[in-house]
Amino acid sequence: MKKLISICLLAVCIHFSGCNTKEPMSSVIERGLNVATGQALLMAKKLEGERGKFPKTIKPDGSLETSEYGWWCSGFFPGELWYLYENNPTDELKQYAELYTERVEPAQYLTNTHDLGFMLYCSFGNGYRLTHNPHYKEVMITGAHSLATRYNSTICAIKSWDFNKDTWQYPVIIDNMMNLELFSWTTKETGDEVFLDMAHSHAKKTIENHYRPDFSSYHVVSYDTITGKAHIKQTHQGLSHESAWARGQAWGLYGYTMMARETGNNEYLEQARNIAKFIMNHKNLPSDKIPYWDFDAPTNVDTPRDASAAAIMASALIELSQLDKGHFGKQCLQLAEQQLRSLSSPAYLAEIGTNQCFTIMHSTGHLPGNSEVDVPLTYADYYYVEALFRFKKLKMIKH
Ligand code: GLY
């Protein structure tokens, strides 16, 4: 009921958004960053004494659920702290960013997961960008070598998962596009082209096999290890094998936009534009522009949203708007602004001290697994802050 009232209030706000009482975007951004800073500091203090722990979500009983370094999300909280420190360089934010970054360090040796880009690039990557700490660089290079053990040159892609071996010979999920930034960075830092080559091969293979003619993406594509050809196309976290799982569309949009930025390759830019068109023109995208958890899910008030998907999309769209300087780029920025306004409204933005110290409400992690439905998620907060900060930097450049 509370959610329904909030969404109705938001609809009223959006209805009147044409009039000149609209809050300036600079004020939306500062408000959002203030809440995120307040919440992140409370969270950082809460878990300070809990060795090796990271915020994950809220449990069904309302308590905070934490994770350890091996969970794919371990890099998001330190990464969020680094962005908040970049925005507001206090010693306190820096100390907490360092503390939680150190907790991710053992992940550099993991070879049983493809998520090293998420884990290491968001945490150590942002930390290195801001501090040039040489140890952070070493950790990321070790992590890139660990990730490279999951690349197969017959298939030309990084293997995502090691489970469900009876069905999937070599599963690659769309989310895996997000790990390519670590490879691109490693080539730039070390001069070793092999990492960027793997990123290119993976990105091209994913364009060939994950995307449907309407530029929606499958979640899981499994490849035959002998022929290297796709043998199964399925979902794991979406509504059905042929549906468009919202966060999967967000990962693809972000991944190809990032690859276009990193390489200047027009094929990736075109792919990102087409994915953005699929999202912005979709009949089931609600008026507040926060997608339901799957674009093919029923569109009613009981269907959970995925605010994390909106935050990832907003961050990617801001970047895409800088790569496409034409009319379409402006449309991308407009959609990102609408998403950030919605996420910064009471319908999605928590009040400081509530929501177990997460910033954003109403994300969905894995609905078919009955896990993390309509909850805060640490990556929703990370990409929300990244998007606010990207928007703020655009405005700073323009003025
Ligand atoms: N990468 C896992 C997820 O998006 O749920």
- pLDDT tens-digit profile, the chain (399 residues): 445 445 444 444 444 444 458 999 999 999 999 999 999 999 999 999 999 999 999 999 999 999 999 999 999 999 999 999 999 999 999 999 999 999 999 999 999 999 999 999 999 999 999 999 999 999 999 999 999 999 999 999 999 999 999 999 999 999 999 999 999 999 999 999 999 999 999 999 999 999 999 999 999 999 999 999 999 999 999 999 999 999 999 999 999 999 999 999 999 999 999 999 999 999 999 999 999 999 999 999 999 999 999 999 999 999 999 999 999 999 999 999 999 999 999 999 999 999 999 999 999 999 999 999 999 999 999 999 999 999 999 977 664
- Per-residue pLDDT at 19: 45
Write out 220-280 in H/E/C secondary structure. Answer: EEEECCCCCCEEEEECCCCCCCCCCEHHHHHHHHHHHHHHHHHHCCHHHHHHHHHHHHHHH
Q: Indicate the pairing of strand 171-173 with strand 157-158.
A: unpaired
Q: Count the Cβ atoms, other than its own, within 10 Å of residue 307.
A: 31
- Per-residue pLDDT at 398: 61
Q: Which of 28, 10, 4 shows the shortest CA–CA distance to 346? A: 10
Instruction: With respect to residue 239, please indicate whether it lies within any of the assigned structural domains.
Output: no
Residue with tokens 């990244």: 386
Instruction: With respect to residue 40, please indicate whether it lies within any of the assigned structural domains.
Output: yes
Instruction: With respect to residue 357, please indicate whether it lies within any of the assigned structural domains.
Output: yes
Q: Give 285 Cα–ligand 1 centroid separation in angstroms.
A: 20
SS3 48: coil
User: What CATH number did the domain enclosing 281 receive?
Assistant: 1.50.10.10
Instruction: With respect to residue 281, please indicate whether it lies within any of the assigned structural domains.
Output: yes
- Angle at the Cα of 158 (from 53 to 110), degrees rounded to 5? 30
Residue ranges in the chain assigned as alpha helix (H): 2-15, 25-46, 76-87, 91-104, 116, 126-131, 134-148, 180-190, 193-210, 246-263, 266-280, 307-323, 327-343, 378-398
Q: Report the atom number in ligand 1 closest to the C-alpha of 379.
A: 4
Q: Report the atom number in ligand 1 closest to the C-alpha of 118.
A: 1
Q: Report the atom number in ligand 1 closest to the C-alpha of 115.
A: 1
- Per-residue pLDDT at 396: 76
Instruction: With respect to residue 386, please indicate whether it lies within any of the assigned structural domains.
Output: yes
Atom 5 (ligand 1) nearest CA? 365
Its domain, for residue 11, covers 1-51+245-399
Which of 71, 72, 118, 217, when mutated, tests ligand 1's pocket best, judged by the most ligand atoms within 8 Å of its CB? 72
Instruction: With respect to residue 165, please indicate whether it lies within any of the assigned structural domains.
Output: no
- Per-residue pLDDT at 21: 81
Which of 76, 113, 176, 247, when mutated, tests ligand 1's pocket best, judged by the most ligand atoms within 8 Å of its CB? 247
Instruction: With respect to residue 31, please indicate whether it lies within any of the assigned structural domains.
Output: yes
Structural domain count of the chain: 1
Q: Report the atom number in ligand 1 closest to the C-alpha of 237.
A: 5
End-to-end CA distance of the chain: 43
Which of 163, 175, 306, when mutated, tests ligand 1's pocket best, judged by the most ligand atoms within 8 Å of its CB? 175
Atom 2 (ligand 1) nearest CA? 175
- Where does ligand 1 bind, in terms of residues with CB under 6 Å? 72, 175, 237, 247, 365
Strand partners, 232: 222
Q: Give 83 Cα–ligand 1 centroid separation in angstroms.
A: 21
List active site positions.
115, 175
Backbone angles phi, psi at 302, to 5 degrees: -85, -10
